[in-house]
């Protein structure tokens, strides 16, 4: 027999006859049984909520602008007045807020207008790097089961 | 059910979505089960071994080289797993009577079979395939029923292409010899 010749094995009669034979199929829950033996992985997808550097700069500019506005228009007396309005527990928070504003005011008082752009950039970089650090830290906490 | 290309499911599993493997199971379970059941000849065992083959394939998916077809790679795993189980059971293969095979005829047999009604034809082929050794039954199914090429059968079973052809040639001859015998017995018993 010429072993390379497939003509010796082609046979429509056998093909037709074999086609009539019973074909057994796996059970209906076959796939579920297989998947039961495969470890399930919960993929914690990182939400794509990272801000772009220019967005951080915009936020930093806005925050710097607010602080500059408070310093420029000397709004500290207004906050002190607000603090005096209420003597209950809420006043403590206002005191804290006023102190924070005072702190920022003192920090910014030495700056001139030209320094503001530098402050915006520095604030933006700090916010951006802080965001990166927090995201990296939180991704390390993600558990893959 | 319409299935996507194997690569789609493989990529998803590689990305960590293990549930995507169910797509590959659904797509290939019938063929894998056919291979295994032809070798083991026991539905319950075949179900277990076929499941085992899929789990093995899942665990080895990282080593799958995409130069080959995923289906062939998977069927090879199923075949090897079934053969391994079959050998554990120390099942003896029925030796082929070579002398009997040499004296086979085709035309009178096919003519006589065609004269039988459909139910008798099904009964005949089921009786004959049950008598075939497991591996021959598998080769018969892969080549004549599933229409797999000699090349693919060679990749699944590990036999050379020439060996697959020789085996198929012998199986074909044996089928005619057994059919002739079956028809004579049927005629004798009325």
pLDDT in tens, B10-34: 999 998 899 999 999 999 999 999 9
CB A8 within 8 A of CB B165: yes
Q: For residue A90, what pLDDT is reported?
A: 52
Is the per-residue pLDDT at A36 higher than 90? yes
For residue B78, the distance in angstroms to the closest alpha carbon of chain A comes to 13
pLDDT at A134: 77
Confidence category of residue B77, pLDDT binned at 50, 70, 90: very high
- Specify the DSSP element, H or E, that contains B77: helix B70-88
- Judged by CB atoms closer than 8 Å, whether chains meet at B145 and A19 is answered as yes
Contacts of A76 (CB under 8 A, 6+ apart): A70, A98, A101, A102, A105
Kindly report the nearest CA distance between residue A116 and chain B, in angstroms.
46
For residues B132 and B179, the answer to whether their CB atoms sit within 8 Å is no
pLDDT of residue B127: 86
Give the separation between CA B47 and CA B144, rounded to whole angstroms: 23
Q: What is the pLDDT of residue A16?
A: 84
B37 vs A18, A24, A144: nearest CB: A24
pLDDT above 90: residue B72: yes
The CATH architecture assigned to B6-88 reads: Orthogonal Bundle (1.10)
Token digits for B115? 């004269």
Rounded to two decimals, what is the model's pTM?
A: 0.61
B171 by DSSP, 3-state: which? helix
Q: Do A20 and B122 touch (CB under 8 A)?
A: yes
State yes or no: pLDDT of B60 exceeds 60. Answer: yes
- How confident is the model at residue A80, as a pLDDT? 63
Rounded to the nearest angstrom, the minimum Cα separation between A129 and chain B is 28
How distant, in Å, are the alpha carbons of B51, B62, B135 from that of B29?
A: 9, 20, 19
Q: Do A20 and B141 touch (CB under 8 A)?
A: no
**Which pLDDT score is estimated for A113?**
54
The pLDDT, as a whole number, for residue A127 is 78
Question: What is the model's pLDDT at position B159?
Answer: 93
Q: State the average pLDDT over residues B148-159.
A: 93
Predicted local confidence at residue B28, as pLDDT: 95
Long-range Cβ contact pairs of A43-49 (< 8 A, separation 24 or more): A43/A144, A43/B15, A43/B16, A43/B17, A44/A142, A44/A143, A44/A144, A46/A135, A46/A139
Do B64 and B110 touch, CB atoms closer than 8 A?
A: no
CATH 1.10.1740.10 placement within chain B: 6-88
Residues of B with CB under 8 A from a CB of A: 15-19, 21-22, 25-26, 29-30, 33-34, 37, 43, 46-47, 50-51, 54-55, 58, 106, 110, 113, 118, 121-122, 124-126, 129, 140-141, 143-145, 150, 162, 165-166, 168-169, 172, 175
CA–CA dist B79, A27 (Å, integer): 19
pLDDT score, position A42: 56
Give A89-134 pLDDT, tens digit per residue: 555 666 666 677 677 666 666 655 556 677 777 777 777 787 777 7
> A38-42, A73-77, B119-123: which range is least confident on average?
A73-77
CA torsion, ordered A10, A15, A16, A18, to nearest 10 deg: 160
């Amino acid at each position: 027999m010429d072993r390379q010749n497939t003509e010796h094995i082609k046979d429509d009669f056998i093909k037709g006859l074999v086609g009539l034979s019973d074909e057994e199929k796996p059970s209906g829950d076959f796939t579920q049984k297989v998947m039961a033996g495969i470890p399930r992985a919960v993929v914690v997808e990182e939400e794509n909520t990272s801000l772009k550097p220019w967005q951080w700069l915009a936020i930093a500019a806005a925050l710097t602008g607010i602080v500059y506005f408070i310093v420029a228009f000397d709004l500290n007396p207004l906050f002190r007045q607000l603090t005096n309005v209420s003597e209950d527990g809420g006043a403590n928070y206002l005191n804290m807020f006023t102190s924070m504003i005072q702190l920022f005011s003192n920090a910014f008082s030495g700056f001139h207008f030209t320094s503001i752009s530098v402050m915006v950039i520095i604030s933006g970089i700090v916010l951006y790097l802080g965001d990166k650090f927090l995201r990296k830290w939180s991704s390390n906490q993600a558990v893959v089961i | 059910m319409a299935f996507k290309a194997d690569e789609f499911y493989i990529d998803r599993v590689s990305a960590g979505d293990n549930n995507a493997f169910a797509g590959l199971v659904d797509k290939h379970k019938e063929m894998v089960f056919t291979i295994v059941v032809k070798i083991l000849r026991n539905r319950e065992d075949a179900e277990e071994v076929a499941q085992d083959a899929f789990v093995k394939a899942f665990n080895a998916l990282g080593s799958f080289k995409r130069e080959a077809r995923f289906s062939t790679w998977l069927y090879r795993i199923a075949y090897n797993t079934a053969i391994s189980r079959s050998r554990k059971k120390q099942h003896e293969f029925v030796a082929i009577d070579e002398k009997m095979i040499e004296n086979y005829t085709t035309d009178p047999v096919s003519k006589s079979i065609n004269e039988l009604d459909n139910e008798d034809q099904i009964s005949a082929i089921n009786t004959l395939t049950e008598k075939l050794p497991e591996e021959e039954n598998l080769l018969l199914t892969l080549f004549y029923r599933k229409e797999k090429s000699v090349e693919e059968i060679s990749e699944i079973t590990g036999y050379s292409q020439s060996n697959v052809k020789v085996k198929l040639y012998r199986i074909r001859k044996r089928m005619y010899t057994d059919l002739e015998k079956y028809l004579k017995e049927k005629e004798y018993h009325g």
